[in-house]
């Protein structure tokens, strides 16, 4: 069925908000450190935040 203009704009806003997050997760998955890590998940969260911050700076 056809979407209403309100539904279309809502979907566009949601897609615009999700895209950077999905790109960031895809980028993190490509980093070798996350595939072979042996440290705690809490520490990996801090590492992931640092990497994403550095990625956004470039």
Taking the domains of the chain in order of start, what are their residue ranges?
Answer: 5-57
Instruction: Please report, for residues 3, 46, 51, the alpha-carbon distance to residue 28 in angstroms, rounded to integers and kept in the order given.
Output: 34, 13, 8
Task: Specify the DSSP element, H or E, that contains 15.
Answer: helix 5-30
Question: What is the pLDDT confidence band of residue 58, given thresholds at 50, 70 and 90?
Answer: low
Taking the whole predicted model, whether its pTM rises above 0.75 is answered as: no
Distance CA 43, CA 34 (A): 11
Tens of pLDDT, residues 10-55 = 999 999 999 888 887 887 778 777 777 788 878 888 888 887 788 7
Decide: 25 and 52 in contact? Cβ < 8 Å: no
pLDDT tops 90 at residue 2: yes
């Amino acid at each position: 069925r056809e979407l209403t203009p309100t539904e279309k704009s809502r979907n566009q806003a949601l897609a615009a908000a999700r895209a950077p997050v999905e790109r960031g997760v895809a980028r993190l998955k490509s980093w070798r450190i996350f595939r072979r890590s042996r440290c705690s998940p809490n520490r990996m969260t801090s590492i992931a935040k640092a990497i994403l911050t550095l990625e956004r700076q470039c």
